[in-house]
């Protein structure tokens, strides 16, 4: 139980369970929970993994009392207040719905789930009384002091109207990366770099600029022999009139994550890779802007890096207050809708408008939309094309 003498004595401990004990749980979820427990009553009561040896080792290392291999049993026996999900995307819908129905709030790793249909099923399982339980997505890049400061500047149009933007997630993944069986598959990974890599920067772009209106896009498989794309590009028009380019790639040896927004009075730019601090933001004024204005714009305050901890801190405050957290409901759905729209625009060659992908649209139930050349092929058909004998395939969960 991670409770210290500095914890406020009037608060009831939040009981947390971690589902999935691989790298993201060890490297991000557990450290965030441990750090926050130093300032509030919080107890990690259980962990769940299909691999009994892995969950036993995880619990032993972290001092967690109850290892499980069955999620439903854990929910019934431990009754956690919060479940953090660090499992592959194909499991997120069923695991989130199970936790919500057991009365637990959920904090789910990105990608949130493989389709908008899945997301809407999750939202339908949330509490209807106004105080939860709710399911939030891990979109940690929009949290921290830098993102908060720039969001406030843009919302108040301190730098004038936003006009032109660029959102870039250009990373590099080699053949060894895709040799892991579950990678590059629609069913297990949910999508290519648009879904699994670039969604973080696209979410931050939406958080800064507000709702998008329409999109055109292209996608390709230029290097890797996978079901999904390995690169996508898009042109996006926002509701406020701003236009943006979006690039998502796993073909780029010089890796960078970048957002640039040109406003009437200044350019604001963020350059980083997997997380940002105040120093990663740069504001360049237009000619004629006063030094007093520039000093105010560049005053980011105390440095709070973007992180799982920064997002989780706010979510725990919302849980205690019984209010909907950021990156849940419509606020979380908007980023998945943009991802779905990139795929639809790329695979159909048409313009996609916000709100048009709903029940009855092929891209509502699957991000590939059953598009020719992109939809998954039956195992027997793809094997016959290669002249091989059919064999049983299995997909392993990520470490």
Instruction: Kindly report whether the global pTM for this prediction surpasses the value 0.85.
Output: yes
CA distances from 290 to 55, 59, 264, 287 (A): 58, 56, 14, 9
- What pLDDT is attached to residue 190? 86
Rg (CA), the chain: 22
CA distances from 320 to 11, 104, 273 (A): 9, 12, 33
Q: What φ, ψ does residue 19 adopt, rounded to 5°?
A: -110, 120
3-state secondary structure the chain: CECCCCCCCCCCCEEEEEECCCHHHHHHHHHHHHHHHCCCCEEEEEEECCCHHHHHHHHHHHCCCEEECCHHHHHHHHCCCEEEECCCHHHHHHHHHHHHHCCCEEEECCCCCCCHHHHHHHHHCCCCCCCCCCEEECCHHHCCHHHHHHHHHHHCCCCCCEEEEEEEEEEECCHHHHCCCCCCCHHHHCCCHHHHCCHHHHHHHHHHHCCEEEEEEEEECCCCCCCCCCEEEEEEEECCCCEEEEEEECEEEEEEEEEEEEECCEEEEEEECCCCCHHHEEEEECCCCCHHHHHHHCCCCCCCCCCHHHHHHHHHHHHHHCCCCCCEHHHHHHHHHHHHHHHHHHHHCCCEECCCCCCCCHHHHCCCCCCCCCCCCCHHHHHHHHCCCCCCCCCCCCC
Please say whether the beta carbons of 240 and 210 come within 8 A: yes
CB environment 290-299: b (16+ within 10 A), e (fewer): eeeebeebee
- What pLDDT is attached to residue 9? 53
- What pLDDT is attached to residue 384? 40
Please say whether the beta carbons of 319 and 105 come within 8 A: yes
- Alpha-carbon distance of 366 to 313, in angstroms, equals 33
Q: Which residue has the tokens 């971690």?
A: 18
Structure tokens at 141: 């890049």
Structure tokens at 214: 């329409």
Q: How far apart are the first and last CA of the chain?
A: 25
pLDDT in tens, the chain (399 residues): 444 334 455 689 999 999 999 999 999 999 999 999 999 999 999 999 999 999 999 999 999 999 999 999 999 999 999 999 999 999 999 999 999 999 999 999 998 999 999 999 999 999 988 999 999 999 999 999 999 999 999 999 999 999 999 999 999 999 999 998 888 999 888 899 999 999 999 999 999 999 999 999 999 999 999 999 999 999 999 999 999 999 999 999 999 999 999 999 999 999 999 999 999 999 999 999 999 999 999 999 999 999 999 999 999 999 999 999 999 999 999 999 999 999 999 999 999 999 999 999 999 999 999 999 999 987 544 434 434 333 322 233 333
């Amino acid at each position: 139980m991670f409770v210290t003498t500095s914890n406020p004595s009037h608060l009831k401990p939040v009981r947390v369970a971690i589902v999935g004990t691989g790298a993201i749980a060890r490297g991000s979820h557990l450290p965030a929970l441990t750090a926050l427990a130093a300032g509030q009553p919080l107890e990690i009561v259980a962990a769940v993994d299909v691999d009994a040896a892995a969950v036993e080792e995880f619990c032993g290392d972290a001092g967690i009392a109850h290892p499980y291999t069955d999620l439903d049993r854990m929910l019934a026996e431990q009754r956690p207040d919060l479940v953090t999900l660090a499992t592959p995307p194909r499991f997120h819908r069923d695991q989130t719905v199970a936790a919500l129905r057991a009365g637990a709030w959920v904090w789910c790793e990105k990608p949130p789930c493989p389709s908008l249909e899945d997301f809407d099923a999750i939202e339908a399982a949330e509490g209807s009384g106004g105080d939860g339980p709710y399911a939030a997505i891990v979109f940690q890049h929009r949290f921290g002091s830098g993102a908060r400061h720039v969001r406030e500047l843009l919302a108040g149009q301190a730098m004038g109207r936003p006009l032109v933007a660029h959102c870039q997630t250009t990373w590099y993944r080699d053949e060894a990366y895709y040799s892991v069986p579950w990678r590059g598959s629609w069913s297990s990974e949910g999508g290519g770099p648009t879904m699994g890599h670039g969604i973080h920067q696209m979410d931050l772009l939406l958080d800064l600029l507000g709702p998008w209106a329409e999109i055109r896009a292209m996608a390709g498989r230029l290097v890797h022999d996978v079901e999904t794309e390995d690169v996508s590009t898009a042109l996006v028009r926002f509701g406020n009139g701003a236009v943006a380019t979006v690039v998502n790639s796993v073909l780029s040896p010089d890796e960078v994550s970048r957002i640039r927004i040109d406003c009437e009075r200044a350019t604001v730019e963020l350059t980083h890779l997997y997380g940002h601090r105040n120093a990663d933001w740069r504001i360049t004024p237009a000619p004629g802007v006063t030094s007093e204005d520039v000093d105010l714009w560049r005053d980011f305050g105390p440095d709070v890096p973007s992180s799982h901890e920064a997002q989780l801190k706010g979510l725990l405050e919302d849980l205690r207050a019984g209010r909907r957290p950021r990156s849940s409901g419509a606020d979380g759905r908007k980023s998945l809708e943009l991802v779905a729209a990139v795929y639809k625009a790329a695979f159909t060659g048409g313009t996609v408008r916000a709100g048009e992908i709903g029940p009855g649209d092929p891209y509502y139930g699957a991000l590939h939309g059953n598009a020719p050349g992109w939809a998954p092929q039956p195992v027997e058909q793809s094997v016959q094309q290669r002249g091989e004998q059919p064999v049983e395939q299995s997909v392993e969960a990520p470490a």
